[in-house]
Each structure stands twice: as C-alpha cells, then as structure tokens.
C-alpha cells in the first residue's frame, strides 16, 4: 500500500476539519482553470453507498456546499457486473427496483443530514440514483464539478485499508478536486 508521503505527483494531502487522519485530495489540473471557468460554479458532488464511511462524506459535503452557497448532487450507484463480451454494464432484471431502493435510502440520508445541519443549507440538493460502475460513474460526473467528495471506504472486506477501491480510482482519475473523508472523523 502506498503511504501518503509517497502519493503520486497529481495528488496532495489536506487536513479535513474535525478529523485526525489526512484526506487525499486530487488537485485540479492547471489546464482546466482559466478565465472561461471563472464565475461558473457547478457545485459539489458526493458519492454515497449507504456505508458508515459514506454517511460521514455526506455530512461533510452538505456542510461544505452550505459554506460555499453551492448546489449539492448526491450520487448513489447500484453496482452492476460487466458484460463478458463488451465490458459494458450488464443490467439484470430487478435493477430498476434496486435503483429506486437506493434512491429512497439516499433521500432519507440527505433528510437526516440536512436536519443535523440546521439553518445553513446548500443552495439545492439533488439525489441521483443509477445502475452502473460506481467509480466510472463518479469520475464521469466529476467533469465540470467544483468538488467531488467520497468516503474513504465502502462496504468492502479489507477494513485495514485507508482507501477502498472506488475512492482510490476516483482520487486518481477524477477531473476535479477530490476530498476523501475518513470514517473516524
């Protein structure tokens, strides 16, 4: 496992308020910042999966969007398998029901986080639930976003890892700054 002190050159570390460990932050590429992007604020995106880690990411993203006066998009992805032949997502019967299930869970999590936040709220909150590959979906959504927030780990079985597979892929491939919120913040 690569330590934070040996992070690739396109990443940096930043101390997240109210947390002990560091979070990994992917810096925006210099060529994506220019006069044409000034004044445009597409908002904050947070990826959640119902895990304890993602609930901390949602709380942090809601507070950050509120501080910025920004829109917040809460994304949740029903993971699907890849087609053996094409490598594309292979939907199966019941995926539509699962997407509605995770949308409802995400909306409940947003309501809970908004109540805990009090009077200072993001400009707007949109919940998006889709079927697909979680990392690819978040990476694609990062194009044009101001900030992407994820939890350090999802529901995978390797609890000792600092970053899970999804958060690691997002940090390395997102097209905007990424904040990874540790679970024990």
Domain positions in the chain:
42-82+96-185
- List CB contacts of 40: < 8 A, sequence separation 6 or more: none
CA distances in angstroms from 162 to 17, 22, 183, listed in the order given: 18, 10, 10
Give the pLDDT of residue 90: 84
Q: pLDDT tens digits for the chain (185 residues)? A: 333 333 333 333 333 344 333 344 444 433 333 333 444 447 999 999 988 889 999 999 999 999 999 999 999 999 998 888 888 888 888 889 999 999 999 999 999 999 999 899 999 999 999 999 999 999 999 998 999 999 986 555 545 455 778 888 999 999 999 999 987 65
Any long-range contacts for 99-106 (C-beta under 8 Å, 24+ apart)? 99/129, 99/130, 99/131, 100/129, 102/50, 102/76, 102/77, 102/78, 102/129, 103/76, 103/127, 103/129, 105/50, 105/76, 106/48, 106/74, 106/76
Query: Structure tokens of 185?
Result: 């913040």
Give the pLDDT of residue 170: 94
Could you please state the CATH topology (level 3) that the domain comprising 42-82+96-185 is classified under. Answer: Rossmann fold (3.40.50)
């Amino acid at each position: 496992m690569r330590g934070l002190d040996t992070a690739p050159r396109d990443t940096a570390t930043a101390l997240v308020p109210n947390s002990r460990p560091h979070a990994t932050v992917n810096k925006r590429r210099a060529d994506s910042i220019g006069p044409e992007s000034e004044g445009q604020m597409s908002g904050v995106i947070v990826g959640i999966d119902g895990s304890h880690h993602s609930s901390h990411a949602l709380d942090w993203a809601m507070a950050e969007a509120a501080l910025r006066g920004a829109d917040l998009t809460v994304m949740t992805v029903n993971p699907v398998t890849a087609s053996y032949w094409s490598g594309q997502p292979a939907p199966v019967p019941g995926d539509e029901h699962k997407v509605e299930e995770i949308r409802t869970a995400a909306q409940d999590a947003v309501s809970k986080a908004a109540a805990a936040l009090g009077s200072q709220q993001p400009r707007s909150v949109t919940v998006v639930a889709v079927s697909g590959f979680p990392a690819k979906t978040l990476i694609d959504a990062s194009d044009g976003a101001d900030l992407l927030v994820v939890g350090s780990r999802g529901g995978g079985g390797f609890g000792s890892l600092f970053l899970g597979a999804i958060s690691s892929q997002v940090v390395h491939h997102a097209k905007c700054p990424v904040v990874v919120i540790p679970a024990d913040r």
